[in-house]
Chains A and B, each alone.
Chain A
Amino acid sequence: MDKSNREYRLREVNCPTGFNWGNLKAELKAVWESNVKDWKIEFAYPVSFIRQLISPLVFLLPFLLYGIALVGGRYSENLAQLVGSGDVVTFIFTGYMLMGFIGTAVWAMGFSIRRESWFGTLEAIYVTPSSRLGQVLGMALHSTVHQTLGTIIQLIVIYFTFGLALKIEGILPALGIFALMMLALYGFGIVISALGLILKEGWVVSDSLYSIMTILSPVAYPLIVLPTVAQQASALFPTAPALIGMRSFLIENYHAEAFGNVFLHLLALGAAWILFGVVVFRLTDVYVRKRGLLKKF
Chain B
Amino acid sequence: MIESSYQQSVLRSNLFVVWNEIVKNIKTLLAYPTIIVFWAIFPIFWFIPFILQGQAFVGGLESANFAQITGSGEYVPFIVIGAVLNSYVNTLLYGMGENIRKEAYQGTLDYVLAAPCNKAYVLIGKAISESLSSTIFAISQLTISVLLFGMSITLGVMVPVFFIVILLILGLYGIALIMAAFSLMYKQSYDLSESIGYIFYIFAPVRYPIESLPTWAQIFGKLIPLTYALIIVRSFMLLGADLSTVYLEVIALLIIDLALLLAGFYLFSWMEEKTRKSGAISHH
Binding site for B on A (CB under 8 A): 45, 47-48, 51, 54-55, 58-59, 61-63, 65-72, 76-79, 81-82, 88, 92, 201, 204, 207-208, 211-212, 214-215, 219-222, 225-226
- Is the Cβ of A71 less than 8 Å from the Cβ of B58? yes
User: In the complex, which residues of chain A have a beta carbon less than 8 angstroms from the beta carbon of B191?
Assistant: 45, 47-48, 51
* Interface of B, helix, strand, loop or mixed by DSSP: helix
In the assembled complex, the CB of B255 is this many whole angstroms from the nearest CB of chain A, namely 27
Of chain B, the residue at the smallest CB distance from A210 is B45
In the assembled complex, the CB of B38 is this many whole angstroms from the nearest CB of chain A, namely 5
- Is the Cβ of B195 less than 8 Å from the Cβ of A51? yes
User: In the complex, which residues of chain A have a beta carbon less than 8 angstroms from the beta carbon of B35?
Assistant: 201, 204
User: In the complex, which residues of chain B have a beta carbon less than 8 angstroms from the beta carbon of A51?
Assistant: 191, 194-195, 198
Q: Which of A58, A92, A212 contacts B45 (CB 8 A)?
A: A212
- Is the Cβ of B49 less than 8 Å from the Cβ of A76? no
In the assembled complex, the CB of A194 is this many whole angstroms from the nearest CB of chain B, namely 18
Q: Which of B55, B75, B202, B206 contacts A221 (CB 8 A)?
A: B55
Of chain B, the residue at the smallest CB distance from A62 is B207
Cα–Cα distance between A239 and B46 once the two chains are bound (Å): 17
Cα–Cα distance between A71 and B207 once the two chains are bound (Å): 14
In the assembled complex, the CB of A11 is this many whole angstroms from the nearest CB of chain B, namely 40
Q: Which of B52, B56, B64, B68 contacts A79 (CB 8 A)?
A: B56
Cα–Cα distance between A20 and B52 once the two chains are bound (Å): 50
Cα–Cα distance between A166 and B167 once the two chains are bound (Å): 46
Cα–Cα distance between A146 and B208 once the two chains are bound (Å): 29
Of chain A, the residue at the smallest CB distance from B43 is A211
- Is the Cβ of B213 less than 8 Å from the Cβ of A215? no
User: In the complex, which residues of chain B have a beta carbon less than 8 angstroms from the beta carbon of A215?
Assistant: 45, 48-49, 52
Cα–Cα distance between A51 and B188 once the two chains are bound (Å): 13
- Is the Cβ of B34 less than 8 Å from the Cβ of A71? no
In the assembled complex, the CB of A64 is this many whole angstroms from the nearest CB of chain B, namely 9
B42 at interface, CB cutoff 8 A: yes
In the assembled complex, the CB of B69 is this many whole angstroms from the nearest CB of chain A, namely 7
- Is the Cβ of A211 less than 8 Å from the Cβ of B55? no
In the assembled complex, the CB of B135 is this many whole angstroms from the nearest CB of chain A, namely 21
Interface string of B194-206 (1 = CB under 8 A from A): 1100100110001
- Is the Cβ of B42 less than 8 Å from the Cβ of A67? no
- Is the Cβ of A47 less than 8 Å from the Cβ of B49? no
Interface string of B50-76 (1 = CB under 8 A from A): 101111111100011110110000010
Closest 8 CB pairs of A and B: A72-B65, A78-B59, A211-B45, A221-B56, A220-B53, A62-B207, A66-B208, A76-B57
Cα–Cα distance between A283 and B49 once the two chains are bound (Å): 35
- Is the Cβ of A225 less than 8 Å from the Cβ of B56? yes
In the assembled complex, the CB of A216 is this many whole angstroms from the nearest CB of chain B, namely 10
Q: Which of A55, A72, A82, A208 contacts B56 (CB 8 A)?
A: A82
